[in-house]
Amino acid sequence: MAGNIEDVLRNSDGLKSILNEAKIAFFFRKKGWPSEQSKYYVDQDTGKLREIDVFASKHYSPPRLAPSDGSPIININVVCERKSLDNLNIIFHSPPPDLLWRNSLEHFWLGWIEELRDITLQIATDFSISDVRIINRVHDYLTARAYPINSRALCVHVDLTPPPVDIQVTAFREARGAKSFSDDTIEDARVGPLWNAIRANLSAIKAVRTQASIATRSWIHGIDFRLEGPDRFKKLAGFFIDTELLRNVFFHSFVVVDSRLWRVVRERVAEVHSARVFISTVDNETRYVDIVNARFSELYISNMLRHFSRSARKSNSRLKRFIESADWMPGQMEEELARILELPAGRESTNVFTSRLDNDFRKSPSNIGG
C-alpha cells in the first residue's frame, strides 16, 4: 500500500507543482537573489489569505556606502506565479506600436504627494498639533526636502524598465486546440487559468507595495517614538525622513507556464518564448505582467536580473550626482524641523489644513522656514 501511495504522489500534480516552484526559486538564488517559496499575504480586495508561489527581492546601494550612511537605495521586489497549463496554447495579439504604454516598473517613493500628505497629518496627530500654520510648515519642510531644486523630485533620475521580452501585447486568449475560453467577464472564474494567475500577481504586487509603504514609514513613526517620546523624534526625524527619501522601491511580476506561446501576425501565428501583457482599465490605470514559457524561464530570469542590476546601479549613480549637485545631505535640516515642532500651538483646526491640501496640494513648495 505504501508503495502505491508513493507512486501516486510521485506522479501527482501537487508534487510537480511544488517542484516547479522550487526550481524558479533556485534560479533566483543561483544568481545571488534571496528568494522564498510560498510566501503569504492578505488580499486587499477580498481580505482572504493568498499565496505567492515565489517571491524574490534585492536591494542595491552605491559601492562602499551602507544604507545607514544615507546613500541612495533601490529595492526590487519580484513576484512569480508558476502554473502548469500544459494543455493550453496562449495566443497573443500585438497592437500598433503607438498604442503601447511606456515601459516602467511600478514604483513606490516616500516623496509622492499623497505620501507627504499622510506623513504630515501623522506628525500632526503624534504631536497633537491643531495649528494650521505649524502643520503647513511641516508640510512645506517635507516638500522642500523631497523636491530640492526647482520642484524637481529627488527620484527624477531613478527609473527602472522591465526586462526584455519577445513581444508586448494588450490581448491574449487561452485555447485548447481550436476552442478558446470565453472572455465575456473577468469576474467569471471560468474565463481561464492564465487570467486567474495574472489577477493573483496583480493582487500580490498591490499587497507588497502596501507593505513597502508601511516599512518605509516605520523608520519615521517606529517604535522609538512610542517608547522614547517626542523629544527623540524631533532630534532624529529629519535624518530618517531624508534617508527614506533616498529609497526607491520597484515591483515586477511574471507568470511561468508550460503552455506554448503564440503571436498573431497578419492572421498567421508564430511561436514566442515570452510576452508582456499590458492591462488597461477604464479608470486609466495600466499595469503589466510578463508571461514566460517554462523551458526558457531560467534564461528569462538570468536576463532579468542582469538588466535590473545594471539599471539599478545606473539610477543610483544618477541620484547620487543629483543630490551632490543640489548640496543635499541627509539630516542637514533636521534642526529646522525640530524648531517647527517646538512652535507654540494656535487654535486653528487640522480640518483647515486638510481642506487646503485637497484644493492646493500641487502648488510649488514654499521656502523652508519662510
Domain membership of residue 35 (yes or no) is yes
Q: Which position has the higher pLDDT, 370 or 60? A: 60
Domain membership of residue 360 (yes or no) is no
Domain membership of residue 120 (yes or no) is no
Tens digit of pLDDT for each residue in 22-46?
999 999 999 999 999 999 999 888 8
pLDDT at residue 129 above 70? yes
pLDDT at 226: 58
Number of structural domains in the chain:
1
pLDDT at residue 89 above 60? yes
**Cβ count within 10 A of residue 176:** 10
pLDDT at 201: 94
Cβ contacts of 144 within 8 Å, gap of 6 or more? 365, 366, 367, 368
pLDDT band at 100 (very low <50, low <70, confident <90, very high): low
Domain membership of residue 310 (yes or no) is yes
pLDDT at 343: 62
pLDDT at residue 116 above 60? yes
Domain that holds residue 317: 14-111+153-332
Helix (H, G, I), strand (E, B) or coil at 158: coil
Phi-psi region at 47: left, alpha or beta (left = phi > 0; alpha = psi -120 to 50): left
Q: Which residues of 287-306 are buried (b: 16+ CB within 10 A; e: fewer)?
A: bbbbbbbbebbbebbeebbe
Domain membership of residue 41 (yes or no) is yes
Taking the model in full, what pTM does it have?
Answer: 0.85
Domain membership of residue 342 (yes or no) is no
Amino acid at 226: R
Nearest of 254, 217, 271 to residue 108 by alpha carbon: 217
pLDDT at 355: 42
pLDDT at 23: 96
pLDDT at residue 274 above 50? yes
pLDDT at 178: 47
pLDDT at 236: 77
pLDDT band at 185 (very low <50, low <70, confident <90, very high): very low
Domain membership of residue 196 (yes or no) is yes
CB 330 within 8 A of CB 241: no
What is the mean pLDDT of the segment spanning 357-361? Answer: 45
Whose cell is 529609497? That residue is: 247
pLDDT band at 166 (very low <50, low <70, confident <90, very high): very high
Nearest of 357, 361, 340 to residue 129 by alpha carbon: 340
pLDDT at 63: 66
Instruction: Give helix then strand counts, H and E, for the chain.
Output: 10, 13
Domain membership of residue 118 (yes or no) is no
What DSSP state is assigned to residue 4? H
Tens digit of pLDDT for each residue in 43-81?
888 888 999 999 999 999 876 555 455 688 999 999 999
Cβ contacts of 311 within 8 Å, gap of 6 or more? 159, 160, 161
186-190, 224-228, 335-339: segment of lowest average pLDDT: 186-190
pLDDT at residue 284 above 60? yes
